[in-house]
Amino acid sequence: MFRSSLPRQTTSVDSLAIGQRRVRGRVVVAYAVAVVALVLVGLASILVGASGLDPVTVIGAIFHYDPQSTVDLIVVQKRLPRTLVGLLVGCALGLAGAVAQGLTRNPIADPGLLGVSYGASLAVVLGTSITGAMALSGYVWFAFLGAAIASVVVFAVASLGREGATPVKLVLVGAAVSAACGSIITALLLTSRAALDTMRFWQVGAIAGRGYDVFWQMMPAVVVGVVLALLLGRQLNGLSLGDDVARGLGQRVGLTRVLGALAIVLLCGAATAAAGPIVFVGLAVPHIARAFVGPDYRRVITFSALVGPIVILGCDIIGRLIAAPGELEVGIVTAFVGAPFFIAMVRRRKLPSL
């Protein structure tokens, strides 16, 4: 009959709903900022270089291409394919890193964990030694095949035994395969001058000089890898709780690991084949994603696909600016930027848990 003058107490359900709305709001803002940053860094990648260009000139060169114009040739034949390759490489490495960390439950895992980088490098050395291929389009498929074979070997050996391919076994077998490939590479480089010359430039990690042929060669593998990675978000959330919990939730852990390994092979294999072994991107990008969107792998994977290209193109732009009129390769810049970043994360104990 009488209304209480006391304010209505907020229930736990109301608090939970308010918290979820705030989280969703922060996630939406994070995605919006990432998309805007990706557009801006993509545009800057075309504008920045030895000869500075303005947006109007770039748009005119793309939509009204004149093969007789030097500026149009720079935009359409040099900077545009370089930017497109950078977008694919960054997306592939970011996704591969997120899947690798979720698959192994290892916060310091990167695509090289499965021997991908060393497998690709070994295949390039063998391919150039046997066939004499010197152009990137001539040995890009060697790199991709080597990455695939190394990953299959790691997963097959780690799957032996009653426990199957556990995270610890994957790490140990991956390290062993990488060490074996590295030893063979060293031996081959001592006997082949052609392989040494090719490997010297490819191993640095670069997107400069990559044309549309490289872009279209890596596109199918990246597309399939992206689809697989996006489909694995819910399964990786289950794996992060442990194999037993994942099985209790009805997940097929073995199938998830097979599909995850396949996604890593396709993504990192294509990226490594096109740009060489670029370090720290696959390692750092998933941690950046978790800092903005939380630990849910459905969000981590999609956000990593946006952050990866931003990191690659941003480091490529930095390399052009600090060494103008020349440039530093993107692999060198990512190493300089990534190493202090990751050391700082570890020292401050802010390494996100899985």
Question: Helix (H) and strand (E) counts for the chain?
Answer: 15, 0
Q: What's the confidence (pLDDT) of residue 72?
A: 79
Q: Is 120 in contact with 273 (CB distance < 8 Å)? A: yes
What mean pLDDT do residues 125-142 have?
71
| Residues 12-26 as b or e (16 or more Cβ within 10 Å = b) | eeeeeeeeeeeeeee
Number of Cβ within 10 Å of residue 145's Cβ equals: 17
The CATH class that applies to domain 19-347 reads mainly alpha
Q: What is the pLDDT of residues 267-323, one digit of tens each?
A: 888 888 888 888 888 888 998 999 899 888 999 999 999 999 999 999 999 998 887
Q: What's the confidence (pLDDT) of residue 33?
A: 94
Distance, in Å, from the CA atom of 332 to the CA atom of 328, rounded to the nearest integer, reads 7
Q: Indicate whether 88 pLDDT > 80.
A: yes
Of all residues in the chain, what percent carry a pLDDT higher than 70? 85
Any idea which residue has 């074979």 for tokens?
149
Q: What is the pLDDT of residues 157-188, one digit of tens each?
A: 887 877 766 767 777 888 888 889 888 888 88
Domain ranges for the chain? 19-347
Q: What is the pLDDT of residues 224-272, one digit of tens each?
A: 999 999 999 888 888 877 777 777 777 787 788 888 888 888 888 888 8
Both structure tokens of 52:
């500075």
